[in-house]
Amino acid sequence: MGNNKKIRVLVVSDSPGHATGYYVVGKGLREAGIEVILGGFQIPPQIVESAVQEDVDFIGYRIMDGAPEILVPRLVELLKERSIRDIQIIVGGIIPPPIVPTLKGIGIEGIFTPGTKISDIVDYVRSHFDAGT
Amino acid sequence: MELIDKMFSGDQIALARLITILENQSQSVPEIMKAIYPHIGNAYLLGITGPPGGGKSTLVDELTSIIRRKGLTVGIVAVDPTSPFSGGALLGDRVRMQKHYLDDGVFIRSMATRGSFGGLTNAAKCVIRLLDAFGKDIIIVETVGVGQTELDIIKAVDTVLVVLVPEAGDTIQTMKAGLMEIADIFVVNKADREGAKQMAGELRTMLNDSQKQTYWQVPVMETQANNGIGIDELYAEIEHHRDVLLQTGNLSVRRRRQRESELAEIVERRIKDKIVERIRKEGKFSVLVKKIADGEIDPYSASNEIFSDKEVLRDCFL
């Protein structure tokens, strides 16, 4: 038996459409041996419930049309309310440069904007994965 | 175990963590199963299988709405295949069940089939028990019914729905896939499409010819899951099957048979694990693997060599 912990990532988006990046990332993670749960278009309270039920290690949040400076802090806040500390958030999509410091300020380190290589995301996920939990 | 107490108090985070532990087949599985076993047997288990793209997840979503309207709670285990090449998986069933994301009476968990040795079959069965012990009234297990693993999981439920679509080919394909024997209820979904009526008719004829039980004639239901058509009738048929199983005493027969194979599987797996572990410890194993790779010996003769070693055999069976 032993421990066969797999990395689990929930990928969600802030709006329907513009889904190419979302699928490319999902497929890339799968090819790296990661279990990807497709969550589709969800608002932060739904994302929290999905992440809890699926017991994921990461939430990959694709933001194209929305306001990352509102959505991401809201998600962080909701996770805190549920006392969830071990699910990490990764953000991807259109993140205007002035907003990046705001996100970093609330603890979001993985921010991937257009031009990112899949291998960078995979490396990030692997190096930040806590196998202990 | 603190997690188990928390789970019994209704904590969803604890429930999800325990599922992960069961899924990873970690050392504490026996401890968890021992603690929850006195609390199982109250949930009704529904299995849904069939070829990919048949609308199974949408059907689960619709059935869940009906069950919730009746005031019952639902646990959903959605199984999708692991890539045999990378070990990763894309689990996409959840997307079709969005209506229930904020309903705390519905708990959805996606599982990947992962590795070999019937690992998932066992893990999924444990997860079903856990959701049962947690207090869910109805547990729905959804699998892509094309492989042995998926069929094995489906055999562990009370009522099995096989979902087909007209595009899935003729009924001969269904017979080939081994889906004929396991269905308690057939569902022809996407019934508005061409060929659906014909498919349902062919299935009915075939089922009339080969009735498997005296107490139950397998019905063929026509649905359009994405339009919500035929779902109430389907749910009524599921309840009917449950009532028939209960009245004829066949529910307990079925469950006893499941417990029996569960025990046999656990014993078999433990023996297998023990033997494989013992053999791998032997230096001879890697030597033989190299010989096979170099073409010096075939795997059957190599296994004979392993089994001619009395010491190894004694360790394995004592």
Size of interface A-B (CB pairs under 8 A): 91
* Residues in B touching A4 (Cβ below 8 Å): 24-26, 114-115
CATH number at residue A52: 3.40.50.280
Which residues of B sit within 8 Å Cβ distance of A? Answer: 12-13, 16-17, 19-20, 24-27, 29, 82-83, 85-92, 94-95, 98, 101-102, 107-110, 112, 114-115, 273
Which residues of A sit within 8 Å Cβ distance of B? Answer: 1-6, 26-27, 29-40, 42, 45-46, 49-50, 52-55, 82, 84
The segment(s) of chain B belonging to CATH 3.40.50.300 are: 38-248
CB within 8 Å: B16 and A54: yes
Confirm whether A35 is domain-assigned: yes
CB within 8 Å: B88 and A49: no
So what's the ipTM on this one? 0.91
DSSP per-residue string spanning B124-188: HHHHHHHHHHHT-SEEEEE--TTSHHHHHHHTTSSEEEEEE-GGG--HHHHHHTT-TTT-SEEEE
Give the up-direction half-sphere exposure of residue B109: CA atoms within 13 A in the CB hemisphere. 30
CB within 8 Å: A53 and B114: no
Residue A128 tokens read as: 């930040």
Distance from CA of B216 to the nearest CA of A (A): 36
* Residues in B touching A39 (Cβ below 8 Å): 94-95
CB A61 within 8 A of CB A92: yes
Distance from CA of B143 to the nearest CA of A (A): 15
Residue B201 tokens read as: 């008719």
Confirm whether A98 is domain-assigned: yes
* The model's pTM: 0.90
Q: Is the dihedral of CA B133, B134, B137, B140 positive or negative?
A: negative
Of B17, B19, B83, the CB nearest to A30: B83
Residue B246 tokens read as: 């209960």
Distance from CA of B17 to the nearest CA of A (A): 6
Amino acid at the residue A80: K
The residue segments making up the domain with residue A98 are: 8-127
Distance from CA of A32 to the nearest CA of B (A): 6
What φ, ψ does residue B120 adopt, rounded to 5°? -70, -40
Rounded distance between C-alpha atoms, residue B56 and residue B93, angstroms: 9
Rounded distance between C-alpha atoms, residue B118 and residue B15, angstroms: 23
* Residues in A touching B19 (Cβ below 8 Å): 55
Select B38-248's CATH number: 2.70.180.20, 3.40.640.10, 3.40.50.300, 2.40.128.110: 3.40.50.300
How far, rounded to the nearest angstrom, does the alpha carbon of residue B109 sit from its chain's CA centroid?
Answer: 13
Predicted confidence pLDDT, tens digits, chain B (318 residues) = 899 999 999 999 999 999 999 998 888 999 999 999 999 999 999 999 988 888 999 999 999 999 999 999 999 999 988 888 888 898 988 888 888 888 999 999 999 988 654 566 788 899 999 999 999 999 999 988 666 777 777 788 999 999 998 876 666 666 666 777 889 999 999 999 988 999 899 889 888 877 667 889 999 999 999 999 999 999 999 999 999 999 999 999 999 998 998 898 888 888 888 888 888 887 778 888 899 999 999 999 998 888 888 877 787 776
Domain count, chain A: 1
